[in-house]
Amino acid sequence: MAFVIGITGGIGAGKSVVSRALRCRGLTVYDCDSEARRIMEGSESLKREIACRFGDGCIGPDGSLCRPAIAERVFADDAHRLWLNSRVHALVRDDIARRVAEAGDGTFFVESAIMKSSGLDRMCDAIWLVEAPLDLRVRRACRRDGSAREAVMARIRSQSAEFDGLDCPRVETIVNDGRSPLLAQIDRL
């Protein structure tokens, strides 16, 4: 069975940079955000559930998900967000378990900003927590997403409890502050 390492960290910390470095070395990194989108688009049963819960306006004429309409409903009502997350997280966990089983021996990396709330931390043998100073994270996220500082700070506040008490036997920290050598830290781990 593969050794599963989760890669997590708050917005702008640099978890995607760590994942890119691993991919450049030929290693497999499961990106939960993109895989969740793929899974959602491919699940007709989930689309039917979404249409029943949020209305037909959440499914486009071509049968694809209308993400802005879903986001509008999900972010307006916490119960809707929790409902959708429970469905999607379960599908993602199942997909990861299948891929880990197929991977055999070796190391399998999973990148997710919400490792704890999605239950992915319990699937990991180790977690790499990518951290950076707050001001640097805000600058990175604003530049990358074109977001206002206030919007980035709101996302940071919403993630604040995500990294406390991760349910994993081993949590290692990677400092991505622009001064500490990132590749050397990855090599060490």
Tell me: the pLDDT tens digits for 21-31? 999 999 999 99
In the numeric block, which tokens belong to residue 181?
A: 């050598």
Residue 1 has pLDDT above 90, yes or no: no
Mean local confidence (pLDDT), 110-118: 94
| Main-chain phi, psi angles of 130, to 5 degrees | -90, 125
Tell me how far apart the alpha carbons of residues 118 and 113 are, in angstroms, rounded to a whole number: 9
Sequence-ordered list of residues with C-beta below 8 angstroms from that of 156, at least 6 positions apart, any chain: 10, 11, 134, 137, 138
Residue 87 has pLDDT above 90, yes or no: yes
pLDDT tens-digit map of 150-171? 888 888 887 878 888 888 889 9
Q: Which alpha helices (DSSP H) does 28-77 contain, by range?
A: 32-42, 44-54, 67-76
Q: Which residue has the tokens 């429970």?
A: 86
Amino acid at 3: F
Mean local confidence (pLDDT), 52-75: 91
Residue 72 has pLDDT above 90, yes or no: no
Could you tell me if 2 and 105 are in contact, meaning their C-beta atoms sit under 8 angstroms apart? Answer: yes
Mean local confidence (pLDDT), 50-61: 93
Mean local confidence (pLDDT), 92-97: 97
Confidence of residue 179 (pLDDT cuts 50, 70, 90): very high
Mean local confidence (pLDDT), 73-89: 89
Q: What is the DSSP letter of 59?
A: B
Average pLDDT score, the chain: 93
Confidence of residue 185 (pLDDT cuts 50, 70, 90): very high
Amino acid at 180: S
pLDDT tens-digit map of 4-17? 999 999 999 999 99
Cα–Cα–Cα angle for 52, 53, 58, rounded to 5 degrees: 80
Q: Which helix (H) or strand (E) covers residue 132, if one does? A: none
In the numeric block, which tokens belong to residue 54?
A: 């949020």
Tell me how far apart the alpha carbons of residues 80 and 73 are, in angstroms, rounded to a whole number: 7
Beta partners for 129? 8, 173
Q: Which helix (H) or strand (E) covers residue 24, if one does? A: helix 15-24
Residue 74 has pLDDT above 90, yes or no: no
